[in-house]
């Protein structure tokens, strides 16, 4: 679409197509201490940028819980660049990881370790596909469409639902899908979830470190778009206690060896290794995950490792189609919706292939 065809609602519309006079706006995006994205903008000369061409920047880490007040500068090192679906034109989104003034990675920089693991085991060509579940809340933290007092009718009609009373805020989901495609995020699909006001988008297959990068930009875009609609995005793994499904970040994985005929051997060997490090995985699979992994509502119990073909009540599921073919991928169903994709993909690599050094 030509830039001049783009229309915006409200007063902003008068300004968005103004000539930028040879400059672009770069939106630097990073991950804070709470697992939210933050961002700020700067002007750069108009040109094509790769991460290594972009200036290192900084922010006040004492305002984000990422550094003490007396040594507050945290550095932003660009790691991936995407076209900006909001500003269009040559404007860009710049995903950055966080570094301390002494040259060490910031405490909340989980990308750095994951990238080392991906590099060390690159010959296995690891593919990931993550399923991000989330809940849309109003500004009073109530899920959209839920009565002010009381609850909606029990779960059943909402999953992949169509029609009023079954799904809410579809425009946010659709806008997010389009924005991801524009930005080059490898979004693979989306669906309404089992709990009303809950949705999911999938990203993948992505190679190695790209998984975390694309999922984080996907999260950024979702929050940024929901902001325009006055909606909050919750990634709490059990937003509503009781007989309501929680929210996960199912993590699908395959290696080069798993994707070819006879690959089930490699899948089974990997699952055996995963079973031996269950607690280590749970430790990085998100906070409050014990409220979700109860063994009910399509989950496996948090203190028990299990796996099975087509079993949605297990820790690990081998899709029916893969079992039938004898190769493909497996799904780790344990990660919570608020987990960090760098931590998930990193520990999967470490458990299956060993430490980076
Ligand atoms: P589910 O049936 O669990 O809801 P989804 O369709 O929501 O599955 O998500 C499946 C995910 O698995 C997608 O992100 C997809 O990209 C990913 N995927 C598919 N094939 C592979 C593969 N060979 N290796 C890794 N991930 C894969
Ligand atoms: Mn300032
Ligand atoms: Mn899914
Ligand atoms: Mn789901
Ligand atoms: Mn799944």
Q: DSSP assignment of 58-85, as one string?
A: EEEGGGTTSS-GGG-EEEEEEEEEEE-T
Q: Which residues surround ligand 3, an ion (CB under 5 A)?
A: 131
Mean pLDDT across the stretch 156-181? 97
Q: Where are the alpha helices (DSSP H) in the chain?
A: 111-120, 170-183, 210-228, 264-276, 278-283, 320-325, 341-353
Domain covering 20-108 assigned CATH 3.10.20.70 in the classification: yes
First to last CA, the chain: 47
Query: How much is the pTM?
Result: 0.96
Mean pLDDT across the stretch 67-90? 94
Question: Rounded CA gap, 151 and 13, in Å?
Answer: 40
Mean pLDDT across the stretch 151-157? 96
Q: Are strands 127-137 and 232-234 parallel, antiparallel or unpaired?
A: antiparallel
**pLDDT score, position 69:** 84
Residue identified by tokens 């924005």 is 179
Q: Which two tokens stand for residue 183?
A: 């930005």
Question: Rounded CA gap, 199 and 197, in Å?
Answer: 7
Q: Which fold has domain 118-353?
A: Creatine Kinase; Chain A, domain 2 (3.30.590)
Question: Rounded CA gap, 177 and 191, in Å?
Answer: 11
**pLDDT score, position 292:** 97
Beta-carbon count within 10 A of 13 CB: 11
Average pLDDT over the chain, rounded to an integer: 95
Mean pLDDT across the stretch 4-13? 63
The residue extents of the domains of the chain are: 20-108, 118-353
Atom of ligand 1 nearest to the CA of 130: 14
CA 199-171-207 angle, 5° bins: 55
User: Cβ distance 332 to 253 under 8 Å?
Assistant: yes
**pLDDT score, position 10:** 74
- 93-105, pLDDT tens digit by residue? 999 999 999 999 9
pLDDT at 22 over 60: yes
Question: Rounded CA gap, 33 and 63, in Å?
Answer: 10
For residue 149, the CA-to-ligand 4 centroid distance in Å is 27
ipTM higher than 0.95? Answer: yes
**pLDDT score, position 9:** 63
Comparison of pLDDT for 8 and 59, the residue scoring more: 59
For residue 335, the CA-to-ligand 3 centroid distance in Å is 13
Q: Provide the pLDDT confidence category of residue 310 given band limits of 50, 70 and 90.
A: very high
Q: Which two tokens stand for residue 289?
A: 């995950």
Strand partners, 25: 43
Q: Provide the pLDDT confidence category of residue 334 given band limits of 50, 70 and 90.
A: very high
Rounded to 5 degrees, what are φ and ψ at 67?
A: -160, 155
- pLDDT > 70 fraction of the chain, expressed in percent and rounded: 97
Question: What is the sign, positive or negative, of the torsion defined by CA atoms of 204, 207, 210, 212?
Answer: positive
Atom of ligand 1 nearest to the CA of 202: 14
Q: Which residues line ligand 1 (CB under 6 A)?
A: 127-129, 131, 188-189, 202, 204-205, 250, 252-254, 259, 328-329, 331
For residue 138, the CA-to-ligand 5 centroid distance in Å is 26
User: Cβ distance 217 to 117 under 8 Å?
Assistant: no
Do 20-108 and 118-353 fold alike per CATH?
no
């Amino acid at each position: 679409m030509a830039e001049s065809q783009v229309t915006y609602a409200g007063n902003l519309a008068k300004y968005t197509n103004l000539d930028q006079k040879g400059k672009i706006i770069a939106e630097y995006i990073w991950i804070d201490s709470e697992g939210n994205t933050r961002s700020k903008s700067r002007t750069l000369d108009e040109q094509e940028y790769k991460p290594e061409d972009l200036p290192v920047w900084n922010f006040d880490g004492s305002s984000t819980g990422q550094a003490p007040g007396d040594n507050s500068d945290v550095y932003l090192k660009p790691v991936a660049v995407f076209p900006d679906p909001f500003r269009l034109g040559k404007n860009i989104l710049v995903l950055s990881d966080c570094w301390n003034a002494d040259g060490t990675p910031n405490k909340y920089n989980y990308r750095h370790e994951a990238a080392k693991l991906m590099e060390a085991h690159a010959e296995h060509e690891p593919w990931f596909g993550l399923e991000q579940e989330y809940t849309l809340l109003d500004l009073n933290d109530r899920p959209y469409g839920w009565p002010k007092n009381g609850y909606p009718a029990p779960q059943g009609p909402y999953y992949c639902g169509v029609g009023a009373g079954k799904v809410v805020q579809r425009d946010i989901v659709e806008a997010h899908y389009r924005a991801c495609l524009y930005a080059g995020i490898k979004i693979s699909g989306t669906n309404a979830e089992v709990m009303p006001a809950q949705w999911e988008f999938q990203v993948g297959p992505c190679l190695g470190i790209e998984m975390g990068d694309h999922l984080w930009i996907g999260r950024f875009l979702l929050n940024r778009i929901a902001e325009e609609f006055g909606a909050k995005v919750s990634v709490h793994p059990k937003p509503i206690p009781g007989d309501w499904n929680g929210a996960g970040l199912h993590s699908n994985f395959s290696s080069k060896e798993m994707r070819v005929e006879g690959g089930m051997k490699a899948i089974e060997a990997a699952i055996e290794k995963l079973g031996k490090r269950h607690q280590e995985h749970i430790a990085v699979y998100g906070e409050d995950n014990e409220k979700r992994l109860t063994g009910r509502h399509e989950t496996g119990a948090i203190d028990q490792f299990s796996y099975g073909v087509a079993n949605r009540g297990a820790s690990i599921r081998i899709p029916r189609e893969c079992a039938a073919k004898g190769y493909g991928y497996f799904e780790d169903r344990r990660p919570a919706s608020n987990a960090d994709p760098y931590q998930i993909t990193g520990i999967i690599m470490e458990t299956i292939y060993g430490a980076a050094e």
